[in-house]
């Protein structure tokens, strides 16, 4: 069993959904119940594999790739089928494996028009393969393929099951992300050729860059391409405009998956590929990433305040929340990237919950116009309280998951990695702290206008059913996790910490204050890290220098 | 942070590089396990949430029982602490020390203790590990924490009992008790917090309970508006808390050899006291933390949420917005006093941010209390004013006076709030001018306890408020007459502000008593005294308002034996390395007599206006009057303007709600969104359209002629990968994809060639 898991675990986790898809292809469209059952069982099998992987995962070696497999795949271009799981990918893989079955359960009885569960569920399963594969791939070509596999099912989900403006939204989503992918591919290819690596496997690439070196200009361009590719997916300001449209038009489940997992593919790309492979370019880009992140935090929050549609508001809040994630990443510190992964998981759970609730409200009221809602707590008290809890989690209330993505990110900004401008980042810290106020503003305003007060006249006599059984099943695990991570954040940090530490270049992290000049010399760090030479080190702790 | 502590006896060589923290990991079981006290109401919260509705008394019994047990435990813990304080001799084996980065600091941290030091009890466990460091969670139990445990559990217990009557039959009775329990748990966690991160968590949790309870009747928009305002204003201050804690975290880390940061309160304070932290860092963090204090503890100019918070049920106002949560800011200053004392250079100065904020707040609160019709709003502004006293006291270095005032204020202000609730329960209104008057006959118990609370608040001897307020005034060190001085500096300005407030306080409370209990009843219906579950808590609090002052009789007070002097200070004020070396002011008979005369003057002038002039006018007109028709505001334009200024609350609400909040929500947010749609998004659309057009051009003119083969190849690859999906793919998407990938290949080639 153990051996089987070691050699086949990751492959199984990735491709079992495709087995489900293959099976469903042979079942006629009319047998809807059978389709639902196959899809659910498939996703549950994947989840069980996930649990087995988690049980077998060595928590004392989170920095190493576990269950790794590496076979030659396309030998013309030296691409490998290399998969692996470490502390950075594990939480996101598990998140994916959790969200997919919950989405299937949620849509059990009410598929969005034009129904057709067969196609809908097949798309969800294809999505799952793409998402899990992206988080596990250790080869850039493989990563790229999985990254793109995600694109089409989501495109169809929006284009076929979406709202009124679905054509525009889906095409925009598709083209925008495809544009990013193209640049990403440019970067991957250039990286491979310029570094002279043996293969597209990440470790080979990183090693080649470290040993053979790569010109500063090339590094900056390549990182820039990845920045666009991943940044569009995140989405970072100013490449975010596809997101509100896609979210607003997507069916509920599509929005949930989009928010919970898809956006994380971008941020994951930064911490898995861009920063470990090109640390020096990362140092030079980081202040700009940080700048876009804080602009996104404030801008997204202000955008939220202008919304009249609940779903669009939640979508815009993603821009702000992912800004915190990017801010943590831009510090290039262990602390900040841990916070970022925590932020990804928390945002996935919390915003996923918010989209679920928005979907359920839409189903009951047939509108998401905030001005027409109100008094949800009177009509459906349980749903109202769940909305309240999710809103509180989203605004970063301590004791709930969101806080542990937000506060550590702000904290890490005070002391960014070697080579980053300290004053600039401290300015970012203060601005991002302002973002927490605005977040409270738009979220509580949303809560006040939808949940508090009394129902508007048009809905005063409408019978609004409270949380249904399927909703309970779908929501309970997410709420439980929001609470559990909030109370005991070590659930995530324990897993991620070692991996993040291992992924970061030593030059980013060393504390030069404690070291002699010779020791610093011995590290052979590039000038970009600004390590100085021991005796006349630039004081990182500006305010403690006095 | 346990791993940072090493024990001094173990490594004598390290002696030069370690600082004693003044905390011990030993001590009585009750002290080490004080975390049980917040745990009980926390469990009660969960219990009420899941089973409350099914219980015979809808969950209230669980809440009352839980807080009752917590209270008993708090009392026992208090007794254990008294024993610990007097009898626990921390030797080098049990006193925790911390390794520091520089060896020259040992001589800074030495005792402030005339007697043997009071070793705080610390007990921690790992919360989580991140970035190569361990963050712990635990308890730090010392006199301050124990005192807070006692106050919080006692007031909370009385409020619980009171509420079973007051909110009886409420539409969300169970929910109300659930949140009371959650609040108690959070507040109790806050006061025993071992580190600033834990403090931050509890700080926000009490905030959210406050939000939920202010908005308890959220069907009405003003209530949810008030709740929003409270939460948002506090968020503004919390920005300061986040930044301040962060700055402290890293500056502490820079002084430690083996960690890049630390949240530990004892470590932070000790390092601050020992001069190992840079003054700049301390000033920055103290200023940031001050913002959090200003919002949480209702200090000018972030106090505006507190009067609105009176929209919540009255027992909530008594518990959260008078006795406990709003003092969290004061508590935080007291807890991190090393940081504030050094950061603001309180010792030997005569002015600093904290003292000024406190002084202004106390005046602003007292002046606004004058013009309120709503009895609860008077009390709310009074609370602001009294919190200002506490912050002022901390600002001038009178730590014990501030904490003692916190202690006494909790009792008499809770008594007054619950008293106002009792009145309102009878007349179904809080409006003194239109619905009250002459209620002393119908409600004798409420009347008497309210008067006792008022006298205690006004600060007339020998009631509680007198002693604590007098200590604060003496602590300013500004009273040069007859030798009563010797504080941390000559804060004469603060003494004057405190004196003026004393007079104002006596005057507005006299006004409230007249409007509520004297004259003729102006409301409707029959009124009668409240039931025992309301009256008994009132009397308990009134009793404490009478005697609480005796716990800290001034040193050298000739009328009592020395063993009865300064008991509160002895047990509450830390004599340990984590507490700064403050100087204590010596009390003064002349100051006490003078301040009493000032209070009597304030009360007397209000008495003359209401009890004599208004009463006479009322008799003459045969109506029940609340003011003179030809009073000063109608005669003097300047008084009229002043009155307008007060009626409009110094126009701060217009600024915050009308200009800042509306401006952000309205024009600014709309402008940003318009920019988003018209500029960024339109650019995206334009780029897309241009790409389509040029793509068409490329396809027609170049592709077909030149690179046909290349595109065919990539198109074929895409088809093969697409497999089954090909059937449902729209041709449009496929061709976009093909063009993009072809372009990508070309671009990659260009990049490789160029760079």
Closest CA to A155 of A258, A78, A235, A57: A258
What integer pLDDT is reported at residue A538 of this predicted model?
43
From A115-119, A250-254, B247-251, the region with the lowest mean pLDDT: A115-119
Which 501-530 residues of chain A touch chain B by CB within 8 A? 501, 511, 513-514
d(CA B277, CA B256): 10
DSSP assignments along A311-322, one per residue: HHHHHHHHHHHH
Percentage with pLDDT > 90 across chain B: 19
Residues B627 and B748 in one domain: no
Residues B433 and B528 in one domain: yes
DSSP assignments along A462-496, one per residue: -------HHHHHHHHHHHHHHHHHHH-THHHHHHH
Q: Which of A333, A441, A544 minimises the CB distance to B254?
A: A544
d(CA B287, CA A324): 25
Residue A489 in contact with partner chain B when CB distance is under 8 A: yes
- Region B75-85: mean pLDDT is 88
What integer pLDDT is reported at residue A372 of this predicted model?
83
Q: Which of B201, B238, B748 minimises the CB distance to A186?
A: B748
On chain A, the residues whose CB falls within 8 A of the CB of B665 are 305, 441, 445
Percentage with pLDDT > 70 across chain B: 85
DSSP assignments along A167-215, one per residue: HHHHHHHHHHHHHHHHHHHHHHHHHHHHHT-SSSBHHHHHHHHHHH---
CB A241 within 8 A of CB B676: yes
Q: Which of B236, B257, B279 minimises the CB distance to A546?
A: B279
What integer pLDDT is reported at residue A2 of this predicted model?
62
pLDDT band at A373; cut points 50, 70, 90: confident
B610: pLDDT strictly greater than 90: no
Name the most confidently modeled range: A161-165, B454-458, B521-525: B454-458
On chain A, the residues whose CB falls within 8 A of the CB of B221 are 452-453
Domain count, chain B: 2
Percentage with pLDDT > 70 across chain A: 97
Query: The tokens 């919540």 sit on which residue?
Result: B312
The 8-class DSSP code of residue A309 comes to B
Could B670 and A172 be called an inter-chain contact, meaning their C-beta atoms sit closer than 8 Å? no
What integer pLDDT is reported at residue B729 of this predicted model?
43
pLDDT band at A452; cut points 50, 70, 90: confident
Name the most confidently modeled range: A418-422, B200-204, B304-308, B393-397: B200-204
What integer pLDDT is reported at residue B184 of this predicted model?
93
pLDDT band at B737; cut points 50, 70, 90: low
- Region A479-506: mean pLDDT is 90
d(CA A452, CA B378): 28
Could A444 and B250 be called an inter-chain contact, meaning their C-beta atoms sit closer than 8 Å? no
Q: What is the pLDDT of residues B38-72, one digit of tens each?
A: 999 999 999 998 887 887 888 888 889 999 999 99
CB A188 within 8 A of CB A173: no
Which 139-168 residues of chain A touch chain B by CB within 8 A? 145, 152, 155-156
CA-based nearest residue in chain B for residue A455: B219
**Which uninterrupted H or E stretch holds B128?**
strand B120-130
From A105-114, B391-400, B403-412, the region with the lowest mean pLDDT: A105-114
Q: What is the pLDDT of residues B323-358, one digit of tens each?
A: 889 999 999 999 999 899 888 888 777 788 888 899
d(CA A103, CA B379): 52
Is beta strand A66-74 parallel, antiparallel or unpaired with respect to B18-24? Answer: unpaired
Measure the CA angle with vertex B391, ends B318 and B594; round to 5°. Answer: 95
Q: Let me know if residue B105 belongs to a domain.
A: no
Give chain B's radius of gyration (CA, Å).
31
CB B326 within 8 A of CB B233: no
d(CA B432, CA B183): 30
What integer pLDDT is reported at residue A545 of this predicted model?
39
Could A544 and B277 be called an inter-chain contact, meaning their C-beta atoms sit closer than 8 Å? yes
- Region B181-190: mean pLDDT is 93
From A71-75, A87-91, A115-119, B733-737, the region with the lowest mean pLDDT: B733-737
The 8-class DSSP code of residue B142 comes to S
From A213-227, A511-525, B164-178, B358-372, the region with the lowest mean pLDDT: A511-525
Cβ within 8 Å of residue B359, ≥6 positions away = B388, B392, B395, B493, B494, B497, B498
Residue with the bigger pLDDT between B96 and B175: it is B175
- What integer best gives the mean pLDDT of chain B? 81
d(CA B388, CA B355): 9
Could A25 and B260 be called an inter-chain contact, meaning their C-beta atoms sit closer than 8 Å? no
What integer pLDDT is reported at residue B486 of this predicted model?
63
**Which uninterrupted H or E stretch holds B330?**
helix B328-335
B464: pLDDT strictly greater than 70: yes
Terminal-residue alpha carbon distance, chain A: 60
B111: pLDDT strictly greater than 50: no
The 8-class DSSP code of residue A308 comes to -
Dihedral sign, Cα of residue A17, residue A19, residue A20, residue A25: positive
Could A436 and B680 be called an inter-chain contact, meaning their C-beta atoms sit closer than 8 Å? no
pLDDT band at A536; cut points 50, 70, 90: very low
Could A241 and B676 be called an inter-chain contact, meaning their C-beta atoms sit closer than 8 Å? yes
Domain that holds residue B728: 707-755
Q: What is the pLDDT of residues B661-690, one digit of tens each?
A: 777 777 777 877 787 777 777 777 777 777
Q: Which of B202, B246, B277 minimises the CB distance to A414?
A: B246
A451: pLDDT strictly greater than 80: yes
d(CA A419, CA A285): 11
Q: Let me know if residue B222 belongs to a domain.
A: no
Residue A433 in contact with partner chain B when CB distance is under 8 A: yes
On chain B, the residues whose CB falls within 8 A of the CB of A392 are 208
CB B404 within 8 A of CB B438: no
What integer pLDDT is reported at residue B416 of this predicted model?
92
CA-based nearest residue in chain B for residue A433: B239
Residue A1 in contact with partner chain B when CB distance is under 8 A: no
- Region A319-344: mean pLDDT is 92
Could B748 and A190 be called an inter-chain contact, meaning their C-beta atoms sit closer than 8 Å? yes
Residues B528 and B402 in one domain: yes
pLDDT band at B585; cut points 50, 70, 90: confident
Question: Cβ of B107: how many Cβ atoms within 10 Å?
Answer: 8
Could A415 and B260 be called an inter-chain contact, meaning their C-beta atoms sit closer than 8 Å? yes
Residue A3 in contact with partner chain B when CB distance is under 8 A: no
Q: Which whole-number Å values give the CA distances from B254 to A511, B102, B335, B586, in the listed order?
A: 11, 10, 22, 38
Which 601-630 residues of chain B touch chain A by CB within 8 A? none
Is beta strand B133-141 parallel, antiparallel or unpaired with respect to A79-85? Answer: unpaired
pLDDT band at B124; cut points 50, 70, 90: confident
Percentage with pLDDT > 90 across chain A: 31
Which 250-309 residues of chain A touch chain B by CB within 8 A? 299, 302-307
What integer pLDDT is reported at residue A112 of this predicted model?
77
Name the most confidently modeled range: A460-474, B176-190, B504-518: B176-190
Residues B481 and B603 in one domain: yes
Residues B561 and B487 in one domain: yes
Residue B125 in contact with partner chain A when CB distance is under 8 A: no
- Region A484-506: mean pLDDT is 89
Residue ending a domain, among B643, B667, B698, is B643
pLDDT band at B727; cut points 50, 70, 90: very low
Q: Which of B235, B737, B751 minimises the CB distance to A440?
A: B235
Residue B680 in contact with partner chain A when CB distance is under 8 A: yes
What integer pLDDT is reported at residue B740 of this predicted model?
65
The 8-class DSSP code of residue B585 comes to P
d(CA A2, CA A13): 15
pLDDT band at B741; cut points 50, 70, 90: low
On chain A, the residues whose CB falls within 8 A of the CB of B745 are 189
Residue B131 in contact with partner chain A when CB distance is under 8 A: yes
What integer pLDDT is reported at residue B679 of this predicted model?
78
Nearest-Cα distance to chain B for A68, in Å, is: 25
Could B670 and A190 be called an inter-chain contact, meaning their C-beta atoms sit closer than 8 Å? no
Residue with the bigger pLDDT between A39 and B559: it is A39
Q: Let me know if residue B629 belongs to a domain.
A: yes
CB pairs A-B closer than 8 Å: 212
From A333-347, B94-108, B160-174, B418-432, the region with the lowest mean pLDDT: B94-108
Q: Which whole-number Å values give the CA distances from A346 to A129, A397, A439, B404, B486, in the listed order?
A: 22, 12, 15, 42, 54
Q: Let me know if residue B683 belongs to a domain.
A: no
B105: pLDDT strictly greater than 50: no
What integer pLDDT is reported at residue B470 of this predicted model?
85
- Region A11-22: mean pLDDT is 89
Could B128 and A493 be called an inter-chain contact, meaning their C-beta atoms sit closer than 8 Å? yes
d(CA B181, CA B178): 5
From A5-19, A314-328, B707-721, the region with the lowest mean pLDDT: B707-721
From A347-351, B259-263, B637-641, the region with the lowest mean pLDDT: B637-641
Could A193 and B752 be called an inter-chain contact, meaning their C-beta atoms sit closer than 8 Å? yes
Helices A422-450, B221-255: axis angle to 10 degrees equals 160
Could A215 and B249 be called an inter-chain contact, meaning their C-beta atoms sit closer than 8 Å? no
Question: Cβ of A55: how many Cβ atoms within 10 Å?
Answer: 8
Question: Cβ of A488: how many Cβ atoms within 10 Å?
Answer: 15
pLDDT band at A306; cut points 50, 70, 90: confident
Q: Which whole-number Å values give the CA distances from B367 to B378, B453, B646, in the listed order?
A: 10, 20, 7
Encoded tokens for B511: 């006004």
Could A217 and B755 be called an inter-chain contact, meaning their C-beta atoms sit closer than 8 Å? yes
DSSP assignments along B665-680, one per residue: IIIIHHHHHHHIIIII
Residues B714 and B623 in one domain: no
What integer pLDDT is reported at residue B723 of this predicted model?
44
pTM: 0.87
pLDDT band at A543; cut points 50, 70, 90: very low
Rounded (10°) CA dihedral A442, A447, A453, A454: 120
Helices A242-249, A310-330: axis angle to 10 degrees equals 140
**Which uninterrupted H or E stretch holds B314?**
helix B314-318
The residue count of chain B comes to 755
pLDDT band at B245; cut points 50, 70, 90: very high
Q: Which of A190, A194, A490 minimises the CB distance to B127?
A: A490
Residue A541 in contact with partner chain B when CB distance is under 8 A: yes
d(CA A93, CA A86): 10
Domain ranges (residues) in chain A: 2-509, 514-545
Residue A428 in contact with partner chain B when CB distance is under 8 A: no
A168: pLDDT strictly greater than 50: yes
The residue count of chain A comes to 546
- Region B702-727: mean pLDDT is 49
A97: pLDDT strictly greater than 60: yes
Could A182 and B740 be called an inter-chain contact, meaning their C-beta atoms sit closer than 8 Å? yes
Residues B406 and B512 in one domain: yes
Distance, C-alpha A159 to centroid of its chain: 23
Q: Which of B129, B729, B751 minimises the CB distance to A497?
A: B129
What integer pLDDT is reported at residue B435 of this predicted model?
81
Residue with the bigger pLDDT between A39 and B613: it is A39
Residue B748 in contact with partner chain A when CB distance is under 8 A: yes
Mutate to test the interface with A, among B43, B52, B130 (most CBs of A within 10 A): B130
Residue with the bigger pLDDT between B143 and B671: it is B143
CB A500 within 8 A of CB A271: yes
Could A430 and B250 be called an inter-chain contact, meaning their C-beta atoms sit closer than 8 Å? no
Q: What is the pLDDT of residues A274-296, one digit of tens each?
A: 999 988 889 999 999 999 999 99
């Amino acid at each position: 069993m153990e051996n089987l898991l070691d050699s086949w675990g990751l492959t199984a986790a990735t491709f079992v959904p495709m087995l489900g898809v293959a099976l469903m292809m042979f079942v006629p469209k009319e047998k809807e119940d059978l389709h639902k059952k196959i899809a659910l069982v498939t996703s549950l099998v994947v989840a069980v594999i996930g649990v087995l992987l988690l049980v077998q995962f060595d928590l004392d070696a989170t920095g190493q790739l576990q269950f790794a497999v590496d076979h030659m795949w396309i030998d013309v271009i030296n691409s490998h089928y290399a998969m692996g799981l470490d502390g950075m990918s594990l939480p996101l893989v598990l998140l994916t494996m959790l969200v997919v079955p919950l989405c299937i359960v949620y849509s059990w009885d009410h598929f969005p028009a034009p129904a057709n569960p067969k196609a809908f569920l097949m798309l969800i399963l294809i999505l799952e393969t793409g998402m899990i594969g992206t988080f596990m791939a250790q080869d850039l070509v493989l990563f790229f393929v999985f990254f793109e596999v995600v694109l089409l099912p989501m495109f169809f989900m929006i284009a076929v099951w979406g709202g009124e403006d679905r054509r525009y939204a889906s095409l925009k989503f598709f083209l925008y992300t495809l544009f990013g992918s193209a640049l990403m591919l440019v970067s991957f290819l250039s990286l491979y050729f310029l570094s002279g690596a043996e293969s597209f496997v990440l470790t080979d690439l990183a090693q080649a860059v470290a040993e053979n070196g790569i010109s500063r200009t090339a590094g900056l361009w390549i990182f820039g391409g990845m920045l666009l590719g991943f940044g569009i997916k995140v989405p970072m300001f100013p490449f975010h405009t596809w997101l509100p449209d896609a979210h607003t038009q997507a069916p509920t489940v599509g929005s949930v998956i989009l928010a919970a997992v898809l956006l994380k593919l971008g941020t994951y790309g930064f911490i898995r590929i861009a920063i470990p492979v090109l640390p020096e370019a990362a140092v030079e880009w980081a202040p700009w990433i940080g700048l876009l992140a804080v602009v996104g935090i404030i801008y997204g929050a202000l955008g939220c305040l202008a919304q009249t549609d609940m779903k669009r508001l939640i979508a815009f809040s993603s821009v702000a929340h992912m800004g915190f994630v990017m801010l943590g990443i831009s510090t290039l510190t262990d602390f900040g990237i841990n916070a970022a992964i925590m932020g990804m998981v928390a945002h996935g759970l919390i915003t996923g919950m918010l989209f679920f609730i928005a979907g359920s409200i839409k189903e009951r009221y047939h509108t998401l116009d905030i001005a027409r809602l109100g008094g949800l707590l009177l009509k459906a008290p349980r749903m109202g309280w769940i909305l309240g809890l999710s809103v509180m989690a989203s605004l970063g209330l301590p004791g709930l998951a969101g806080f542990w993505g937000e506060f550590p990110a702000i904290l890490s900004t005070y002391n960014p990695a070697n080579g980053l401008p300290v004053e600039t980042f401290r300015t970012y810290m203060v601005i991002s702290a302002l973002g927490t106020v605005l977040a409270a503003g738009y979220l509580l305003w949303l809560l006040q206008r939808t949940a508090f007060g009394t129902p508007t006249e048009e809905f005063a006599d409408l019978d609004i059913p409270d949380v249904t059984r399927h909703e309970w099943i779908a929501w309970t695990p997410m709420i439980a996790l929001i609470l559990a991570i909030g109370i005991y954040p070590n659930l995530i940090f324990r897993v991620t910490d070692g991996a993040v530490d291992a992924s970061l270049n030593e030059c980013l992290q060393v504390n030069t204050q404690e070291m002699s000049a010779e020791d610093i010399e011995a590290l052979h760090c590039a000038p970009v890290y600004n390590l100085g030479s021991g005796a006349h080190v630039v004081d990182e702790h500006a305010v403690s220098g006095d | 942070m346990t791993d940072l502590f090493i024990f001094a006896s173990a490594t004598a060589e390290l002696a030069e590089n370690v600082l004693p923290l003044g905390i011990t990991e030993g001590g009585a079981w009750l002290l080490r396990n004080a975390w049980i006290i917040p745990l009980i109401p926390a469990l009660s919260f969960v219990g009420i949430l899941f089973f409350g509705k099914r219980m015979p008394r809808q969950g209230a019994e669980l809440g009352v029982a839980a807080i009752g047990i917590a209270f008993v435990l708090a009392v026992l813990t208090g007794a254990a602490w008294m024993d610990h304080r007097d009898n626990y001799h921390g030797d080098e084996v049990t006193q925790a020390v911390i390794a520091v980065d520089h060896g020259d600091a040992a001589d800074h941290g030495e005792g402030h203790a005339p007697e043997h030091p009071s070793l705080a009890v610390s007990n921690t466990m790992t919360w989580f590990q991140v970035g190569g460091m361990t963050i712990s969670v635990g308890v730090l139990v010392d006199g301050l924490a124990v005192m807070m445990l006692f106050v919080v559990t006692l007031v909370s217990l009385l409020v619980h009992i009171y509420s079973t009557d007051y909110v009886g039959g409420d539409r969300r009775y169970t929910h109300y008790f659930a949140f009371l329990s959650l609040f108690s748990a959070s507040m109790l966690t806050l006061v025993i917090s071992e580190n600033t991160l834990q403090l931050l968590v509890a700080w926000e949790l009490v905030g959210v309970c406050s939000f939920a309870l202010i908005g308890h009747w959220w069907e009405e928009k003003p209530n949810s508006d008030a709740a929003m305002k409270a939460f948002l204003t506090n968020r503004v201050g919390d920005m300061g808390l986040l930044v301040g804690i962060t700055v402290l975290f890293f500056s502490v880390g820079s002084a430690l050899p083996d960690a890049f940061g630390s949240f530990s309160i004892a470590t932070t304070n000790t390092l601050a006291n020992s001069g190992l932290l840079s003054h700049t860092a301390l000033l920055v963090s103290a200023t940031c933390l001050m913002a959090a204090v200003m919002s949480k503890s209702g200090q000018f100019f972030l106090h505006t949420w507190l009067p609105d918070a009176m929209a919540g049920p009255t027992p909530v106002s008594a518990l959260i917005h008078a006795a406990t949560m709003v003092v969290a800011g004061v508590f935080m200053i007291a807890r991190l006093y090393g940081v504030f004392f050094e950061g603001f250079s309180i010792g030997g100065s005569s002015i600093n941010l904290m003292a000024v904020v406190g002084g202004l707040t106390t005046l602003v609160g007292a002046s606004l209390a004058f013009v309120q019709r709503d009895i609860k709003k008077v009390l709310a502004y009074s609370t602001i004013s009294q919190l200002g006293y506490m912050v002022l006291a901390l600002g001038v270095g009178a730590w014990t006076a501030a904490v003692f005032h916190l202690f006494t204020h909790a009792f008499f202000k809770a008594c007054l709030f619950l008293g106002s609730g009792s009145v309102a329960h009878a007349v179904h209104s809080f409006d003194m001018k239109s619905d009250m008057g002459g209620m002393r006959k119908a409600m004798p118990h409420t009347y008497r306890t309210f008067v006792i609370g008022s006298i205690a608040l006004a600060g007339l001897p020998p009631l509680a408020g007198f002693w604590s307020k007098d200590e604060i005034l003496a602590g300013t060190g500004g009273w040069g007459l007859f030798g009563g001085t010797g504080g941390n500096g000559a804060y004469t300005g603060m003494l004057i502000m405190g004196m003026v407030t004393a007079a104002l306080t006596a005057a507005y409370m006299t006004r409230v008593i007249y409007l509520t209990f004297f004259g003729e009843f102006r409301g409707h219906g029959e009124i009668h005294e409240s039931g025992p579950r309301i009256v008994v808590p009132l009397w308990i609090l009134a009793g404490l308002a009478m005697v609480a002052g005796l716990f800290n009789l001034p040193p050298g007070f000739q009328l009592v034996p020395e063993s009865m002097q300064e008991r509160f200070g002895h047990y509450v004020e830390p004599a340990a390395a984590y507490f700064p070396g403050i100087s204590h002011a010596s009390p003064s008979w002349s100051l006490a007599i003078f301040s009493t005369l000032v209070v009597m003057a304030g009360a007397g002038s209000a008495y003359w206006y209401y009890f004599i002039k208004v009463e006479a006018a009322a008799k003459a007109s045969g109506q029940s009057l609340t003011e003179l028709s030809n009073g000063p505001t109608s005669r003097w334009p300047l008084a009229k303007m002043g009155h307008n200024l007060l009626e409009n609350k110094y126009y701060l609400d217009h600024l915050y709600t009308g200009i800042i909040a509306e401006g952000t929500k309205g024009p600014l947010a709309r402008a940003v969104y318009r920019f988003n749609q018209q500029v960024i998004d339109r650019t995206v659309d334009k780029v897309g359209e241009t790409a389509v057009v040029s793509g068409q051009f490329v396809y027609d003119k170049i592709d077909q002629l030149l690179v046909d083969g290349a595109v065919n190849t990539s198109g074929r690859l895409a088809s093969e990968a697409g497999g089954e999906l090909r059937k449902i793919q729209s041709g449009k998407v496929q061709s976009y994809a093909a063009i993009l990938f072809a372009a990508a290949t070309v671009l990659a080639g260009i990049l490789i060639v160029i760079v």
